[in-house]
C-alpha cells in the first residue's frame, strides 16, 4: 500500500520510537521538501557494537526488517563510528530525516542529546529512542522497558540452577540502565535462595571504553567469576556478552543471555547448549510498532514502556533443558505472576 504523506502523518500525531538513527544538517523546511523524494520509511541508527551484536542492535534490525516486509517501503540502517561525538550522532539522524525517512530511531540512550536536537529541527518527522525516557517532545517516542523484571526472573532461574551456590553478573558499563539488570537479578536470586552468592562486575565506566563492544573483556570477566565458583553467569553487556557465553561454554557452566533469545543466534550456535535462557526485551516489537503507528497516521509519542504484563520483557525458553525443567518453570511462573500482580516489587537500582 502507499504510505500516508509524512507531513500529514506528522500533523496528525507526534512522537516516535527512540532507536538510534542519524541525520546531517537541514531544517524542518528541508524535511518537508524531502517528501517528494519518494516513499521512505523506517531508518535506524545503531548503538555501539553495531549490527551483528546478536543482542540489542540485531533486535532493532529485526523490527526494521518486519516493517520493510509488511509496508513495502525503503528503509535504512546506519552503523556508529569509533569515538564519535554527539554532533556526529546528530548529523547522522538529521541526514536520515532530510532524506525523507520516517520514523527515525536511535538505538540506545547515547543518542539522547543528538536525537532531541534533530527532532527540534525536523518537527514533521517522528523520532524514536530506545532506552531513554528523558526527551519530552511531540514528535519523539521514548521506547523503554522494565528490564529489571526480566532480570528478576533470570535471578530465579540462576538460583534454582546453581550447584555451587555462587552465580555471576557481568555488566557492560557502570550506568543506571545496567544497574536495573543487576538489581533485578540480585533480588531474584536472593528471594529464591538467600544462601546463593552473587558476584557482580562491570567491564568499564563508560561506553567509549568498550564495555558494550569487547567480547575479550566479557570473556576475562566471566573467567574470573568462574574461578570464584560461579556456575551460572548472566551478562548485560551487548556484544561483550558473547565473550561471557564463550567462557561459560569452555568451562562447562551456564550462561544467561540478554535482550535477544541468544540460544537462537546463528553466531552463537556452537555455544547454545551452554545458554540456559535469555532475559529478553522486545526491541524488535517496539521498533515495528513505532513504524506501524506512523504508517497508520497515529505516531506513538511520549514514554512507551514494555514490561512483563505486556509480554515485551521475559525469559526465553528455547533450550529444552530449561523448558523441560518442571520445578524451575513453576518457580518462574510463580515469580512472574507475583510481579505482574504487584505482590513483588522489583528494584531498579
pLDDT in tens, the chain (349 residues): 323 333 223 333 333 333 333 333 322 223 333 333 446 999 999 988 889 887 789 989 999 999 999 999 999 999 998 888 999 999 999 999 999 999 999 999 999 999 999 999 999 999 999 999 999 999 999 999 999 999 999 999 999 999 999 999 999 999 999 999 999 999 999 999 999 999 999 999 998 899 999 999 999 999 999 999 999 999 999 999 999 999 999 999 999 999 989 999 989 999 999 999 999 999 999 999 999 999 999 999 999 999 999 999 999 999 999 999 999 999 999 999 999 999 999 999 9
Q: What's the pTM value of the predicted model, to 2 decimals?
A: 0.83
SS3 192: helix
Start-end of CATH 3.40.50.2300 domains in the chain: 41-145, 147-280+319-341
- Dihedral, CA atoms, 51, 55, 56, 58, nearest 10 degrees? 40
CATH number of 147-280+319-341: 3.40.1280.10, 3.40.50.2300, 3.30.465.10, 1.10.645.10?
3.40.50.2300
CATH 3.40.50.2300 fits 41-145, yes or no: yes
Per-residue cell: 238: 551487548
Q: What share of the chain is helix, strand, coil (3-state, %, to 5)?
A: 45, 20, 35
Contact 32, 11 (CB under 8 A): no
Residue where the block lists cell 571504553 = 209
DSSP assignment letter at 18: B
Residue where the block lists cell 531498579 = 348
Query: Strands of 275-281's sheet, edge to edge?
Result: 197-204, 166-173, 232-236, 254-259, 275-281, 313-315
Residue where the block lists cell 540489542 = 56
pLDDT value at position 54?
78
- Cα 31 to Cα 12: distance, rounded to the nearest angstrom: 16
- Cα 40 to Cα 97: distance, rounded to the nearest angstrom: 10
Amino acid at each position: 500500500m502507499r504510505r500516508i504523506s509524512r507531513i500529514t502523518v506528522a500533523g496528525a500525531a507526534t512522537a516516535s520510537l527512540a532507536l538510534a538513527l542519524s541525520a546531517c544538517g537541514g531544517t524542518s523546511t528541508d524535511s518537508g521538501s524531502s517528501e517528494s523524494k519518494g516513499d521512505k520509511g523506517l531508518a535506524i541508527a545503531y548503538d555501539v557494537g553495531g549490527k551483528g551484536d546478536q543482542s540489542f542492535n540485531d533486535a532493532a534490525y529485526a523490527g526494521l526488517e518486519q516493517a520493510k516486509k509488511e509496508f513495502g517501503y525503503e528503509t535504512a540502517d546506519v552503523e556508529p563510528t569509533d569515538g564519535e561525538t554527539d554532533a556526529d550522532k546528530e548529523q547522522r539522524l538529521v541526514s536520515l530525516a532530510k532524506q525523507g525517512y520516517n520514523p527515525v530511531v536511535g538505538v540506545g540512550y547515547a543518542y539522547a542529546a543528538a536525537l532531541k536536537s534533530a527532532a527540534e529541527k525536523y518537527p514533521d518527522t517522528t523520532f524514536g529512542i530506545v532506552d531513554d525516557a528523558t526527551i519530552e517532545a511531540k514528535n519523539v517516542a521514548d521506547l523503554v522497558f522494565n528490564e529489571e523484571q526480566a532480570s528478576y526472573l533470570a535471578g530465579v532461574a540462576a538460583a534454582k540452577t546453581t550447584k555451587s551456590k555462587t552465580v555471576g553478573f557481568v555488566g557492560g558499563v557502570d550506568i543506571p540502565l545496567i544497574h536495573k539488570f543487576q538489581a533485578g537479578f540480585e533480588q531474584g536470586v536472593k528471594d529464591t535462595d538467600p544462601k546463593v552468592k552473587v558476584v557482580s562486575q562491570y567491564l568499564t565506566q563508560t561506553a567509549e571504553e568498550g564495555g558494550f563492544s569487547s567480547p575479550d573483556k566479557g570473556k576475562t570477566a566471566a573467567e574470573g567469576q568462574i574461578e570464584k565458583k560461579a556456575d551460572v553467569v548472566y551478562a548485560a553487556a551487548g556484544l561483550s556478552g558473547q565473550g561471557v557465553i564463550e567462557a561459560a561454554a569452555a568451562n562447562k557452566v551456564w550462561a544467561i543471555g540478554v535482550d535477544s533469545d541468544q540460544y537462537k543466534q546463528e553466531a552463537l550456535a556452537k555455544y547454545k547448549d551452554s545458554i540456559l535462557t535469555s532475559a529478553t526485551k522486545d526491541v524488535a516489537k517496539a521498533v515495528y510498532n513505532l513504524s506501524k503507528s506512523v504508517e497508520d497516521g497515529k505516531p506513538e509519542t511520549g514514554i512507551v514502556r514494555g514490561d512483563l504484563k505486556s509480554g515485551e520483557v521475559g525469559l526465553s525458553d528455547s533450550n529444552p533443558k530449561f523448558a523441560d525443567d518442571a520445578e524451575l518453570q513453576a518457580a518462574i511462573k510463580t515469580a512472574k505472576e507475583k510481579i505482574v500482580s504487584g505482590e513483588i516489587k522489583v528494584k531498579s537500582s
